[in-house]
Amino acid sequence: MDTADTTGPTGTAALPRPFDAAFFADPYPVYARLRAAGSVHRIALPDGSPVWLVTHEADVRAALTDPRLSVNKAHSTNGYQGFALPPALDANLLNIDPADHLRLRRLVSKGFTPRRVEDLRGRVQGAADRLAVALAGRIAAGGSADLVTEFANPLPLTVIGDLLGVPEADRRPFSADVGTMLAPERPAQIGEAVGRIHRFLLDLVAARRAAPADDLLSALIAARDDGDRLGEDELVSLAFLILMAGSENAQHLISGGLLTLLGHPDQLDALRADPALWPAAVEELMRHGHPNQMAVRRFPVEPVEIGGTLIPPGDTVLLCLASAHRDPARYPDPDRFDVHRADKAHLALGQGMHYCLGAPLARMETGIALATLLRRLPGIALAVPPGELRWRASFRSHALRELPVTVAGRPGGRGR
């Protein structure tokens, strides 16, 4: 896991920097331009560090399962700048290659069972109902409300917090620190936020060790596999990854998903007429506009050819999932959002050994969240013109900072 830094290595000044303010608001024209010019591009990130950006679907798909591409930062030798995470936060699944990864994933799977996830369905629905009613109340009182603060952020945070066993009072501060870490206003804020996150998780693991409860963290502490068990750093960094991955992506998919649906009234009508379309709609939302633009960075352990370009070992490779999803060579009319699309397969949850651990939960909570919103607030509408929406300044996640909503017919309502 990584984020922007302030300084870049020398010698990268001449590289193109496609990730600018216009990109943050709408990355898709940039991807289209890059794809048309070729699959693999040597570019500089906003922090100046050089990366290879892979944009064609076939190449992204193949690279996700290429064993010569390591996720372990130890294989990075050319200018990769992530943020300095303490080892206790970095010993997680997304920084580990095959043998260790398999061991860790087997242990995690002992706690993160499909039954534990399915048992959550009623709680997800209950939380979605409560938050939607509260959101409706806010709109009734004030004319409009921010869907991100009132619904899209708290729902996944409640679900993953309940699952993992995080006390309610600690959830929002954790989420705020993750937001700061991923998109700081000042670089110094990153270290401060990471420090708070680390201390909080150390305390949480210690508390569960002392008094186990019926939650995932206690199950992970107790998990055994042929006498093997998770070490302290592994536990802390797994809790970090699960809390962060479990809240960040889902919350942006819910807010971005609602925005997409509101912009496609014909699709919304189709969903209202036939709720059985929801699973297909969630898949199409994940393809068309899911927030996670890039897979986790990879480092070749030997020279690797991708899309006709030979990439040296130790360089940084970014596999652009969002570009792959709009590749016309794979998807007919790829920019069209269509819940009836025949080819629903996508890479939004990854592929191969790093396939998203929380995929069933992500699908379930996105569907429940959006269906509940539209059922409880049938007239929900944007409260500002789309051009006034504010997006996170990040090339990794295409994420709304806020989504002011109202209900149609209210002053300020913009219809559907």
Binding span for ligand HEM by CB under 6 A among 197-205, 338-346, 357-365, 372-380 = 357-365
Q: What is the DSSP string of 289-346?
A: H-SB-BPPPBEESS-EEETTEEE-TT--EEEBHHHHTT-TTTSSSTTS--TT-S----
Residues 140-169 that bind ligand HEM (CB under 6 A): 160
The Cα-based distances of 117 to 26, 41, 357, 360, 365 in angstroms read 34, 39, 11, 7, 10
Binding mask 57-96 for ligand HEM (x = CB under 6 A): ------------------------------------xx--
Given candidates 4, 349, 371, 382, which one binds ligand HEM under the rule CB under 6 A? Answer: 349
Determine the interface stretch with ligand HEM among 51-59, 225-233, 308-316, 345-353 (rule: CB under 6 A): 345-353
Q: Does 357 bind ligand HEM (CB under 6 A)?
A: yes
Nearest approach, Cβ of residue 243 and ligand HEM (Å): 8
Report the relative pairing of strands 404-407 and 145-146 from DSSP bridges: antiparallel
Residue 57 and residue 43: Cα distance in Å, rounded? 19
- Per-residue interface string for the shown chain with ligand HEM, residues 177-216, x marking contact by CB under 6 A: ----------------------------------------
100 vs 232, which CB is nearer to ligand HEM? 100
CB closer to ligand HEM out of 33 and 106: 106
| Overall residue count recorded for the chain in this entry | 416
Burial 306-321 (b: 16+ CB within 10 A, else e): bbeeebebebbbbbbb
Contact stretch for ligand HEM (CB under 6 A) within 218-226, 307-315, 336-344, 355-363: 355-363
Q: Is residue 105 a contact point for ligand HEM (CB under 6 A)?
A: yes
* Cα(131)–Cα(125) distance, integer angstroms: 10
Distance CA 64, CA 70 (A): 10
**What does the radius of gyration of the chain's CA atoms come to, in whole angstroms?**
21
Do residues 72 and 84 touch, judged by C-beta distance below 8 A? no
Shortest Cβ 326–ligand HEM spacing (Å):
16
CA distances from 168 to 125, 173, 174 (A): 18, 10, 10
* Nearer to ligand HEM (CB atom), residue 362 or residue 407: 362
Which CB sits closer to ligand HEM, 294 or 381? Answer: 294
Q: Which of 39, 249, 293, 406 binds ligand HEM (CB under 6 A)?
A: 249
Binding flag, residue 358, ligand HEM (CB under 6 A): yes
Helix residue spans in 55-166 (DSSP H)? 57-64, 87-90, 98-111, 114-118, 121-142, 147, 154-164
- Could you say which of 246, 300, 307, 404 contacts ligand HEM (CB under 6 A)? 246
The site string for ligand HEM over 275-304 (x = CB under 6 A, - otherwise) reads ---------------x-x--xx--------
